[in-house]
Structure 1
Amino acid sequence: MGSSVSPDGSHGAAVTAENFGLKGPRGWAFRSVGIEAEPGSLIAIEGPSGSGRTCLLLALTGRMRPTEGHAKVGGLPLPHKMAAVRRISALGPVTGVSELDPALTVAEHLRERGLLQRHFDGSLRALLRPPGERAAATRSRIDEALEAAGLVLATLPKEERTAVRDLERLEALRLSVALALIGRPRLLAVDDADLKLSDADRAEAWKLLRSVAEAGTTVLAVCSQAPEGTTVIRTVAATTPSAAPDASDTPAAPKSEAASDATPGAVPANTTEVTEATSEATREDASADTDQDTTEEGTADALAETGRA
């Protein structure tokens, strides 16, 4: 992660995709995704649980390898520049990937992230500065991130010594966002942004994410219902086995990047029809696989492969 500025002078990363899809050996996690969002946009991936939302979020941040179509994040093409996309993006809370440790305190989480940021993402010049200056710079980054996330340590039950397990859901979300913003990413990704929140807390969560976007960082958020004023990618659950889908609903074999962009059943930009896969996402082309079943369990299997992407 870094604080590099794009050629047009903006900090946030533009996000575009066309016929973007990810397929496992027995089906699709998502496909036919189309989107065009400017730097500093608030992008909502809206849909029911199990509809491929998290896989799409991880693919657009360079954590999962897509198998068809095209996408660019900050001008970096996917999947060819996945490592570069990871460097300019940061994950907020994502189950099984970037979860908070409930046994650690808020201060311990912040200290750990600050040390990692200083060790791995600092320039050579920064690393050669006196330890006191480096510590002060890290503290400044942490304070800046806490302010941007709206997390006031003094209001917590034990201030910064509060354990994560004792945080309210909205407070935990703010902490996760603050940790991600310490790296000053160009793209912030948040999973389940509105999960288990009251109406009032949900409004506060979207207010937080909107403020981050307005400050210049592009925000990509998974949710069950997107608020007004967001760029929306809609995902849908797979057809149940009892239903009789049309021939156009049956996923076709994936095409290469050189193939035609005309995909039957494709939807306009900013919306997508996303189906769920029954197996893990792989780097290999699974076009020879004839089993096209799509189930909720498959999306979970694809997510389990995230560490291999």
Structure 2
Amino acid sequence: MSLLRVANLGKAFRSYRREWHRFARWAGLPMAPGEETWVLRHVSFEAHHGRAIGIIGQNGAGKSTLLKIITGTLHPTEGHVEVNGRIAAILELGMGFHPELTGRQNARHAAGLMGFTADEIEAAMPSIEEFAEIGEYFDEPLRTYSSGMQMRLAFSVATAWRPDILIVDEALSVGDSYFQHKSFDRIRKFKEEGTVLLFVSHGMQEVKELCDRVVLLDKGRVIKDGLPDEVVDYYNALIAEKQAAGATIRQQRTEKGWMQTRSGSGEARIASVKLLDAGTGVEVATARVGQKLCLVAEVEIRAPIPRLVMGYMLRDRVGHVVWGTNTWHTRQVVENLAPGDRVTYELHFTCSLGPGSYSFSTALHENNAHMESNYEWVDNVCVFDVINTDKHHFIGCNHLQKHIHINYIRNAG
């Protein structure tokens, strides 16, 4: 049985020419509104124990409206939501808190609204205070809090008891990095214990790390629903596409399971990419730690281009960005290209990576960022593995150049 089921959900905001028309509509009479705006339409998904669903989209896509309907603070115009369990939600910073009450008093009030008894609240209060880590401010009025302190209190109260469904809408973005790590650790623990997570964020890295599935909303409708890498890459390409007239998006999953997304307006395109051993020129599928490599990219020009910039992004298997730059920053912009021209880029580097799988993504564009004049962006255009054959054992994604010096004094006794 699923903990959450959303079926054909829709929300419209309506205005009427006369106020009594609205009352007549409420009474069931077929009274047409003067104006009707749908902010959510035909949204469906369900979530089972221990699953995490990311809800992404640009501002105004309908993300917050969807979450408010799920939590019951907004009524749907059509469709329905089935909830089997207790929901804890952090939708807006400080929502439900009173600025004149102390942190402790607000914690009691918020927990009471969540349905907990006075005894349960008092028993949990020490752990709420400990997790929030706001010190003496816990007994100071909320109006003296920074936005980060309010978020600490809100998250600590909402997660003091493990919910069946946890909803987080951008609130963690205002916190410091230490508390964000601490909060994500608690979220992961809840997920392992069976909690469903609905997570809204503009941080695509967090979405990839936390979520098993991602739903992309655009103008209130689901336009993509699938695995995180597929949907997030499509979303990034969609944003770039909106900046360039005539841009297209194409996706395919490679034999190794990586999602390859191509997008752009097409004035320039990657004709081929090869990863070579820098010494022998032999193509490499599996590199050794410390091996000198060369990534060779052939670019063909299809239309007049005033400036061409090549961008590189190196990511690990779960999508963490390991390294990235472009030829704008290295001051190697190629100018005044014509149709039929070809440009070869050679990226020479030492494989200072840890064992695992990695991918290069490339971007061809005009200026310092691919969001403007995006000729072509290709996610995961080159995928390779790294093994450690002759270095000391280490963990992580970076073979740090290091020297360990030990100085000790023997006890003469």
TM range (shorter): 0.5 to 0.7
Q: Identify the residue that residue 55 of structure 2 maps to in structure 1.
A: 45
Q: Identify the residue that residue 168 of structure 2 maps to in structure 1.
A: 190
- What is the root-mean-square deviation in Å for CA atoms of aligned residues? 3.7
CA-to-aligned-CA distance 1:240-262 (integer Å, 9 cap, x gap): xxxxxxxxxxx9xxxxxxxxxxx
Structure 1 position 55, deviation (Å): 0.8
Moved over 4 A (4+): 114-117, 144-147, 197-205, 265-271
Q: Identify the residue that residue 218 of structure 2 maps to in structure 1.
A: 236
Amino acid at match of 2:215: I
Partner SS state of residue 39, structure 1:
coil
**For the structure 1 residues 200 and 158, does the alpha-carbon distance in structure 2 shift closer, same or farther, using more than 3 Å as the test?**
closer
Partner SS state of residue 50, structure 1:
coil
Q: Identify the residue that residue 91 of structure 1 maps to in structure 2.
A: 89
Q: Identify the residue that residue 107 of structure 1 maps to in structure 2.
A: 104
- Shifted more, 17-26 versus 189-198: the winner is 189-198
- Give runs of aligned pairs for residues 101-180 of structure 1, distance below 5 A: 101-114=98-111, 122=117, 135=119, 137-145=120-128, 150-152=131-133, 156-180=134-158
Q: Distance in 2 between matches of 1:212 and 1:89?
A: 13
Q: Distance in 2 between matches of 1:207 and 1:234?
A: 25
Maintained 8 Å contact 1:46/1:224: yes
Which residues of structure 2 form unaligned runs of 5+?
Answer: 15-35, 232-413
Q: Identify the residue that residue 76 of structure 2 maps to in structure 1.
A: 66
Q: Distance in 2 between matches of 1:44 and 1:233?
A: 6
Maintained 8 Å contact 2:169/2:201: yes
Amino acid at match of 1:178: S
Q: Distance in 1 between matches of 2:47 and 2:104?
A: 35
Amino acid at match of 2:90: G
Partner SS state of residue 157, structure 2:
helix
Maintained 8 Å contact 2:96/2:110: no
Structure 1 position 200, deviation (Å): 6.2
Structure 1 position 34, deviation (Å): 3.0
Maintained 8 Å contact 1:21/1:32: yes
Please tell me whether Structure 1 or Structure 2 has the larger radius of gyration of its CA atoms: 2
Structure number having the greater helix percentage: 1
Q: Distance in 2 between matches of 1:28 and 1:167?
A: 37
Aligned length: 205
Maintained 8 Å contact 1:35/1:269: no
Pairing 1:19–2:1 present: no
Structure number having the greater strand percentage: 2
Structure 1 position 37, deviation (Å): 1.9
**For the structure 1 residues 151 and 215, does the alpha-carbon distance in structure 2 shift closer, same or farther, using more than 3 Å as the test?**
farther
**For the structure 1 residues 50 and 144, does the alpha-carbon distance in structure 2 shift closer, same or farther, using more than 3 Å as the test?**
same
Structure 1 position 56, deviation (Å): 0.3
Q: Identify the residue that residue 41 of structure 2 maps to in structure 1.
A: 31
Maintained 8 Å contact 1:15/1:38: yes
Maintained 8 Å contact 2:152/2:179: no
Q: Distance in 1 between matches of 2:175 and 2:121?
A: 32
Q: Distance in 2 between matches of 1:32 and 1:45?
A: 15
Amino acid at match of 1:235: L
Q: Distance in 2 between matches of 1:198 and 1:214?
A: 24
Q: Distance in 1 between matches of 2:132 and 2:93?
A: 21
Q: Identify the residue that residue 309 of structure 2 maps to in structure 1.
A: none
CA-to-aligned-CA distance 1:34-85 (integer Å, 9 cap, x gap): 32322233332222333211110011122222233454322xxxxxxxxxx7
CA-to-aligned-CA distance 1:160-190 (integer Å, 9 cap, x gap): 2243344444442231123234565422323
Q: Distance in 2 between matches of 1:177 and 1:40?
A: 19
Maintained 8 Å contact 2:103/2:140: yes
Q: Distance in 2 between matches of 1:188 and 1:37?
A: 12
Q: Identify the residue that residue 262 of structure 2 maps to in structure 1.
A: none
Structure 1 position 121, deviation (Å): 5.0
Q: Distance in 1 between matches of 2:122 and 2:107?
A: 9
Q: Distance in 2 between matches of 1:172 and 1:236?
A: 30
Q: Distance in 2 between matches of 1:61 and 1:22?
A: 14
Maintained 8 Å contact 2:166/2:196: yes
Amino acid at match of 1:17: V
Amino acid at match of 2:164: R
Which residues of structure 1 form unaligned runs of 5+?
Answer: 1-7, 75-84, 123-133, 239-250, 252-264, 272-309
Q: Distance in 2 between matches of 1:52 and 1:160?
A: 34
CA-to-aligned-CA distance 1:83-134 (integer Å, 9 cap, x gap): xx7xx223324269x34333322112123345556xx655xxxxxxxxxxx6
Partner SS state of residue 190, structure 1:
strand
Q: Distance in 1 between matches of 2:78 and 2:112?
A: 38
Q: Distance in 1 between matches of 2:146 and 2:189?
A: 21
- Give runs of aligned pairs for residues 298-309 of structure 1, distance below 5 A: none
**For the structure 1 residues 116 and 67, does the alpha-carbon distance in structure 2 shift closer, same or farther, using more than 3 Å as the test?**
closer
Amino acid at match of 2:10: G
Maintained 8 Å contact 1:94/1:190: no
Q: Identify the residue that residue 194 of structure 2 maps to in structure 1.
A: 216
